[in-house]
Amino acid sequence: MTKTQRQHRIGELIERDVISTAAQLVARLQAEGISATQATVTRDLQELGTIKVRDEHGARRIVVATAAKSNPAPLDHLRRMMGEWVVSVESSANLVVVRTPPGCAHVVASALDRSVLDGVLGSVAGDDTILVIANEDRGGLSLAREFRSLAGLDELTTSTVKGS
């Protein structure tokens, strides 16, 4: 197991269970067949940026200190970003390809990621293209239609842009 894999597992354990010491973590890891010393786990906890807090039940526990999570962006924000920057939307199976002018994909992808739309598993942005993965229930075609609607594109506009 690599250091990254071990640290990922530690993050999962402290998120799920009440763990208050590195020794408890070493025991949990060993129960899963992961060998690590207390010193190694302590360094991992430091690198992960953990702190000890009291939870809502008064128990001391180790948690990852994170910045306040940003609130999901309202749908209007996504609509504005897509309306301004999206030039075409295409789909295949559970994938959607969103095209923007060069250098603009990250702006739309950020708004998309913060919008928490139903059925979106994630996105990857390049310079002028965003690949969005829809879950199986949602499917790419349905998601592409919603994106076109949000961007103010109709089927004719998308076909015209695609052919140019």
Residue 15 belongs to domain with CATH number: 1.10.10.10
Q: What is the pLDDT of residues 89-103, one digit of tens each?
A: 999 999 999 999 998
Q: Is 33 helix (H, G, I), strand (E, B) or coil?
A: coil
156 inside domain:
yes
CA dihedral over 148, 140, 88, 73, signed as positive or negative: positive
Taking the C-alpha atoms of residue 127 and residue 119, their distance in angstroms, rounded to an integer, is 24
Among the three residues 40, 64, 88, which one is the final residue of a domain in this structure?
A: 64
| 123 DSSP β-pair partners | 132
Question: Nearest CA to 24 among 43, 41, 6, 12?
Answer: 41
69 inside domain:
no
CB of 95 within 8 A of CB of 139? no
60 and 79 share one domain: no
Q: What are 67's two structure tokens?
A: 């910045």
81 and 60 share one domain: no
Taking the C-alpha atoms of residue 161 and residue 164, their distance in angstroms, rounded to an integer, is 5
Tell me, what's the pLDDT at 52? 87
pLDDT band, residue 67 (cuts 50/70/90):
very low
- Per-residue pLDDT for 143 more than 70? yes
159 and 86 share one domain: yes
86 and 131 share one domain: yes
80 and 159 share one domain: yes
CB of 158 within 8 A of CB of 90? yes
Residue 155 belongs to domain with CATH number: 3.30.1360.40
12 and 79 share one domain: no
- Per-residue pLDDT for 131 more than 50? yes
159 and 79 share one domain: yes
| 131 DSSP β-pair partners | 97, 124
SS3 annotation, 134-153: ECCCCCHHHHHHHHHHHHCC
Q: How far is CA 129 from CA 49, 105, 148, in A?
A: 33, 6, 15
- Angle (CA) 115-123-141 rounded to 5° is 85
Count structural domains, the chain: 2
- Per-residue pLDDT for 149 more than 90? yes
Taking the C-alpha atoms of residue 68 and residue 29, their distance in angstroms, rounded to an integer, is 29
10 inside domain:
yes
What is the extent of the structural domain holding 126?
A: 75-163
Tell me, what's the pLDDT at 69? 47
70 inside domain:
no
128 inside domain:
yes
